[in-house]
């Protein structure tokens, strides 16, 4: 084992101990309360999860939830970046978008879900909620990155008479993208959680949210926690994948 691997394992050890302790506390609580739909034992949760893994609807629900929320996330990122660039060059758009972004940021997600549910089919709501959650986070960071460019580089492009399109392509856009990467990672976690919340509330067909809602309706605590565990695990995997992807993208601008 290399020293790098050893150091990595050593740094993970405290987290592994913390997780083990938390699971132990859960198990003790489950045995003490002894009401499986409130605090089911870990063995039962994992038994349910093991059973679910071999069903088609488990994978269909995961696939369609991922598809819906990822679509919303991607649309949200692209839309906010495009509008941030347009607003940078067309001030009236910035004045129009600033209060809209503030309203979106301050409105509870559940309110948005209810408003959209009045107007639209439940199938599109998780995607739209992901767009609405991603938009203010990414727009604001893109807006800030473009308004605080590197003053030395700005002086350089002015001295070298960069045309507006050249300045946009070689200074504004790369500065914005570099500044916006951490916000995209944050937004991905928020989009995932809000998308699942929208699925639960609107009882979206073929979704993780619907499975969670069903488990709650029928007081199936083990299933509720098994699906919640799936959501947490997927959120973790998605965040790692996005981080890897963005790290690769960031290398272009290093």
Partner 1 sequence: MGIVVTDLTKTFDDKTLFSNLSFALGDTGLVRITGPSGVGKTTLLRIIAGIDKDFSGSVDRDGDISYLFQEHRLLPWLSALDNVIVASFNDADENDKESVRALLYRLGFSDNELLRKPSKLSGGMKQRIALARALARKSDILLLDEPTKELDSSLVSTVVDIIREESNRRLIIFVSHDPLLDTVEVDDLIRLSRI
| Interface ranges with partner 1 (CB under 8 A) | 152-153, 155-163, 166, 170-171, 174, 178, 252-254
Beta carbon of residue 21, minimum distance to partner 1 (angstroms, whole number): 43
Distance of CA 42 to the CA centre of its chain: 27
Give the chain's radius of gyration (CA, Å): 23
Tokens of 177: 């993208």
Q: Which of 216, 192, 191 is nearest to 203 (CA)?
A: 216
CA atoms of 193 and 69, how far apart (whole Å): 9
**Residue 91 or 152 with smaller CB distance to partner 1:** 152
**Residue 127 or 141 with smaller CB distance to partner 1:** 141
Beta carbon of residue 250, minimum distance to partner 1 (angstroms, whole number): 10
CA atoms of 179 and 84, how far apart (whole Å): 13
CA atoms of 65 and 212, how far apart (whole Å): 12
Cα torsion angle, 43, 46, 51, 54, sign: negative
**Residue 148 or 155 with smaller CB distance to partner 1:** 155
Q: Which of 181, 183, 219, 202 is nearest to 65 (CA)?
A: 202
Beta carbon of residue 254, minimum distance to partner 1 (angstroms, whole number): 5
Beta carbon of residue 113, minimum distance to partner 1 (angstroms, whole number): 39
**Residue 75 or 157 with smaller CB distance to partner 1:** 157
**Residue 6 or 166 with smaller CB distance to partner 1:** 166
Beta carbon of residue 165, minimum distance to partner 1 (angstroms, whole number): 10
CA atoms of 128 and 123, how far apart (whole Å): 10
């Amino acid at each position: 084992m290399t020293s790098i691997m050893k150091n990595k394992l050593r740094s993970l050890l405290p987290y592994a101990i913390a997780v083990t302790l938390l699971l132990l506390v859960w198990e003790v609580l489950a045995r003490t309360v002894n009401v499986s739909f409130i605090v089911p034992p870990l063995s039962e949760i994992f038994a349910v999860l093991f059973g679910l893994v071999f069903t088609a609807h488990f994978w269909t629900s995961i696939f369609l939830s991922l598809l819906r929320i990822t679509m919303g996330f991607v649309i949200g990122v692209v839309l906010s970046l495009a509008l941030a660039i347009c607003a940078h060059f067309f001030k009236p758009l910035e004045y129009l978008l600033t209060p809209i972004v503030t309203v979106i940021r301050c409105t509870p997600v559940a309110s948005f879900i209810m408003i959209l549910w009045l107007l639209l089919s439940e199938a599109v709501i998780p995607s739209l909620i992901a767009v609405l959650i991603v938009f203010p986070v990414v727009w604001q960071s893109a807006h800030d990155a473009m308004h605080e460019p590197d003053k030395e580089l700005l002086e350089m492009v002015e001295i070298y008479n960069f045309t507006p399109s050249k300045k946009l392509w070689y200074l504004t856009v790369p500065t914005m993208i570099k500044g916006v990467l951490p916000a995209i990672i944050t937004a991905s976690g928020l989009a995932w959680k809000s998308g699942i919340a929208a699925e639960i509330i609107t009882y979206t067909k073929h979704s993780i949210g619907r499975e969670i809602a069903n488990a709650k309706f029928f007081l199936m605590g083990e299933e509720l926690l098994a699906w919640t565990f799936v959501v947490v695990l997927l959120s973790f995997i998605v965040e790692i994948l996005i981080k890897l992807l963005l790290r690769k993208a960031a290398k272009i601008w290093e």
